[in-house]
Chains A and B, each alone.
Chain A
Amino acid sequence: MDTEPKHISLGDVCFLDENTQELVKDLNPIPLSTIQYRLLHYLALHLKGAVTGDELITYAWGEGAYISRDILYSEINILRKYLESDPKNPEILISLRGLGYMLFPRKK
C-alpha cells in the first residue's frame, strides 16, 4: 500500500491530500465529496491558470454527462466556503468572466 503522503500545496498551511481526498487547512482535514475533490484537484493542477467551466465539468463528472453549469456553480460555492475567509468576495477561487475559473494559492 502506498502510504507516502501525496500533497498538492494550495498555499499557506493549506493542501490537498491525494491519499485521503481531503482538503487540509490550518491542519484541519475537511472531507470532500468525490466531485468536490476532482474539481479542486483539477484547479490545483492548473494553479494560477484559467480553466473553463466545460473543462471542469468534463473532468469532475466525465465526458458526455448531463451536467448544467448551475450544478457546477453550487459545487464551486461549497469549495469557496471551505477555502475562502469571505466566500462572497472570493480571493482564492476566482471567477473570470469570459474565461472560467482560476485558483490562487492561499495567503495567510
Chain B
Amino acid sequence: MLDDTGLKQVYSDLLNARIVISPWLAGIDIQDRFDPGVFEFLNEWAGGCAASLLSDEVRISSFNTIPIPSGFPQKALYETASSTAVSMAHEQTGTLYVGEKLARKAISRIELFIRSQGLGPLLEFYRIINLYESMNALTYYGEIPEREFLLGKWHRPWIDYSLDDELVMGVMEGFYQMSVADSHRFIALTESGLRFFKQIKKVLAESGYFKNRLSQLHVSQFNLYTNYEVIAQEIWPDASHTRSYFLDWVDIQPGMKVLELGCGSGPFTFEGGLAERVGSQGRITAIDPSAGMIKRAISKLQAQDFPWVTFIEARAEDLPFENDSFDAVLGTAFLHFTDRDKALKEMARVTRPGGTVASCHPLRLSFDKPFFREWFAPLLNKASQNDNPKNYLPLAQEVLDSFGQAGISSLITEILPFPALFHNPQKVVQHFIYGVGLFQEEMADLPHRARKELIDDLIHTGEEVCQKYSPGERIMDMPNQLIKGIAP
C-alpha cells in the first residue's frame, strides 16, 4: 500500500499522463450516463481490464489484507475513463459530450499509465479520493442516514450505484460506525476514521489535488451555465464600454500586427471593435486555451467579413509564436486566469522591441457595501475563518510588479471601475457563483447537498436584500485595471 509520499507521486504521475479522476464529472447534475453505446463500450473495457489485470501481486501490493469487493476495480476504471473523457471533451469542444472516439482516447491514456505504473496505484488513489468525499461529508454532518449515504444523496449524487461495498469495507476497517435512532440507521466516522480522514486530507492538499479538484468542479458547473454572455450583459452592462475604452487607451492603430490573448468567443475582437480598428492592412491573431470558445469565435467570424483575423487554440503561458512577431500583444479579462509571471514573460517575448504589451482585467474586490455583506454573509464569514482569506483576483500593484519583472517598461496604469447591478437574485447568484467563480474555494469543501442548500439560501437572502435596499444601493463597483508598457 502506498505511503503519503507514494500517493503524492502517483498523483503527479496521473497528472502527467493527463488522467482525470474526478468521478463527479461523469454525472453531477446530469442524471444520466453517456449514450448507451459509449457507456457499454467503456464499462465492458473497464470490466475486462479489471478482470485481466487484478493479479495476486496487485492485490497484495496495493491492498495487503483488505478484501476487495468484486465490483470495485471495474467502477474505478469506468469512472476514471469517463471523467478523463469528459474533461477532454471540455478542453477540446467546450461541451461535456463524449462520443466513442473520445472514449477510446481516454482509454488509451489509462492503458499507457497502467503499462508503466501498474493497476494498483490507480486503484489506490481512486479509493482515497472517494473516501475523502464520503468522510468529508460525514465530518460535516456528523452522521448521515443509511439510505442517503448508500445512494450518495447528500455527498456523491453523481454515483449511480449503491455504496454498500464502501460501507461494509469502512465498518470492517474501523473507519465507519452505524447507530440506530428514531427507527433509522445512521453512519458516522469513528475516531480512527477521523484520524484517517485528516491524514488523507493533508496528503491530498500537499499533492495539489484540491487545486485541481476546484477547477474540475468549476468545469461541471460552468458547462451547465449556458447563457453566460447574456446574463453578464445584464449584470455589468458597462463592461463592453470598458473594452472599447481600452482599445483607444492602448492606441491600437490600423495596419498593426496584433496578438489578442484569452479572446473567448470574441467579445473584444468583434463587439469591442479590435478587428475593425486594425483593418484589412493589419493582422490579428486571437488565442484562447478553450477549444470550445475558439469554435464559437470562428462561427462568429464566418458570419462577418474580417479575413485578417485568425483564431488559434493556445495558452498565454506557452505562446506558439516566434520572438518579436507582433506590434501589440494584449487582451481583456484574461490575465487573472493565467500564471501571470509566465504569461507576461511570453507576451514580452513575442512583442517586437518597442511594441506594446497591455491588459485590462478585474482587480481584487472589496466586499464593504452593506447590501453585499448582508447578502453573502455566510460566505464572507467562511472566508474570514480561513487563516488566509482566498481571493484569486490580483491587486493593482501586484500586476505592475509582474509587468516590471517581465522587462516591460514605461508602464502606465489606470483604474476604471464599472458597476455591477445586483437586481435579480437568481441571475446574480448564477453569475457570480457559477460564472465568475467567486467564493469557490470557500464552497469547495462543502458536501454537495450543503453547497446546493447554500446557493438556494443565497438566492432567498438575495430576494430579502432586494426588498430592503433600493436599486441605487445595490450597485457595486467592480475595480478594473488598464495597464500598458513597452516591450524590451
Contact = CB atoms under 8 A, between A and B. Distances in A.
Given A68-B151, A98-B29, A98-B31, A88 B36 contact: yes
Given A66-B147, A69-B160, A100 B32 contact: yes
Interface stretch (A1-9, A17-25, A29-37, A89-97): A89-97
12 contacts: A66-B162, A68-B161, A68-B162, A70-B160, A70-B161, A77-B36, A80-B36, A87-B36, A88-B37, A88-B40, A96-B32, A98-B224
Interface in B129-166: 147, 150-151, 159-162
Contact of B33 (A52, A73, A98): A73
Contacts of A89: 36-37
Interface residues of A, number: 21
A99 B36 contact: no
Contacts of A77: 36
A78 to B, nearest CB: 12
Contacts of A97: 30-32, 96
A98 B32 contact: yes
A105 interface: no
A53 B160 CA distance: 10
A80 B37 CA distance: 13
Interface in B9-47: 29-33, 35-37, 40
Contacts of B96: 97
Nearest to B224: A98
Contacts of A99: 31
Interface in B61-82: none
B30 A73 contact: no
Which 10 A-B pairs rank lowest in CB-CB distance, beginning with the nearest?
A69-B160, A68-B162, A70-B161, A70-B160, A88-B37, A95-B32, A68-B161, A97-B32, A98-B30, A97-B30
Nearest to B38: A88
A52 B96 CA distance: 20
A104 to B, nearest CB: 16
B160 A68 contact: yes
A95 B151 contact: no
Residue of A53, A68, A98 with most partner-chain B CB within 10 A: A68
Contacts of A52: 31
Interface of B: 29-33, 35-37, 40, 96, 147, 150-151, 159-162, 224
Contacts of B31: 52-53, 97-100
Contact of B159 (A64, A67, A68, A73): A68
Residue of A73, A77, A80, A90 with most partner-chain B CB within 10 A: A73
Given A70-B161, A77-B36, A64 B147 contact: yes
A105 B35 CA distance: 20
Nearest to A76: B36
Contacts of A88: 36-37, 40
A95 B162 contact: no
A95 B150 contact: no
A66 B151 contact: yes
A76 to B, nearest CB: 9
A88 B30 CA distance: 20
Nearest to B27: A69
B36 A90 contact: yes
Contacts of B162: 66, 68, 70
A98 B29 CA distance: 6
A62 to B, nearest CB: 12
B187 to A, nearest CB: 13
Interface in A20-74: 52-53, 64, 66-70, 73
A52 to B, nearest CB: 6
A64 B33 CA distance: 23
Contacts of B33: 73, 95
Nearest to B41: A88
Contact of B36 (A66, A68, A69, A95): A95
A53 B37 CA distance: 19
Nearest to B96: A97
Contacts of B150: 66, 68
Contacts of B29: 98
Contacts of A53: 31-32
Contacts of A68: 150-151, 159-162
Contacts of A95: 32-33, 35-36
A1 to B, nearest CB: 39
B27 to A, nearest CB: 9
A97 B26 CA distance: 11
B99 to A, nearest CB: 13
A29 to B, nearest CB: 26
A87 B162 CA distance: 25
Residue of B30, B35, B36 with most partner-chain A CB within 10 A: B36
Contacts of A90: 36
Nearest to A98: B30
Contacts of A87: 36
A54 to B, nearest CB: 8
